[in-house]
Amino acid sequence: MKSMTADVNSSSVDRHVIALRAAPMRRTGIVLAAALLATASVCDAAEVRGVRPCETWIEDRANGNAGAVLGETWVIGYLSGLAAATAQDILPGTDNRSIYAWLAQYCREHPGDDLADGAETLYWELLRQRSGDEVPHARAL
């Protein structure tokens, strides 16, 4: 009877080990699916709060207004959130000053957009640079 209990427990453990081994693959699939859905059109898919218009942010930077720092902080948080939500670590190798300079150029070229549009475009550019491949922009999907 004792060996029968051991066999049942062993079988039970084997099932759990198999389930645990399969779990990371399921999680990977779920994360990839979620990443694609989350980034398919980040700005269009969800209400993005606290975002400033590009034109306003450029004016704030030129005038040294506190709104410039608010926008910069918002962008770093937004990019960090995109990186975390998509499991794409895009920020290593960048610094905030370079991000702000890139975004300032984007906003000068697209004054009608907002910082979320610029940050999303930068996300895709950084992802493309990291992968070494052409990554389609979400709005092209």
Least confident of 20-24, 47-51, 93-97: 20-24
Q: Does the pLDDT value for residue 110 go beyond 60?
A: yes
Q: How many domains does the chain have?
A: 1
Q: Has residue 21 been placed in a domain? A: no
Residue 26 domain-assigned (yes or no): no
**Residue 69 belongs to some domain of the structure:** yes
Helix (H, G, I), strand (E, B) or coil at 24: helix
Residue 23 lies in a domain: no
Residue 2 lies in a domain: no
Given a contact cutoff of 8 angstroms between Cβ atoms, the answer to whether 116 and 78 are in contact is yes
> Residue 101 pLDDT more than 80?
yes
Averaged pLDDT score across all residues of the chain: 74
pLDDT computed for residue 45 by the predictor: 67
**In terms of Cα–Cα distance, which of 91, 92, 126 is closest to 106?**
126
* pLDDT beyond 60 at 47: yes
pTM of the model: 0.63
Residue 56 belongs to a domain: yes
Its domain, for residue 96, covers 40-140
Q: pLDDT grade, residue 106 (50/70/90)?
A: very high
Residue 7 lies in a domain: no
Inside any domain, residue 25: no
Alpha-carbon Rg for the chain in angstroms: 22
Sign (positive or negative) of CA dihedral 8, 12, 13, 17: positive
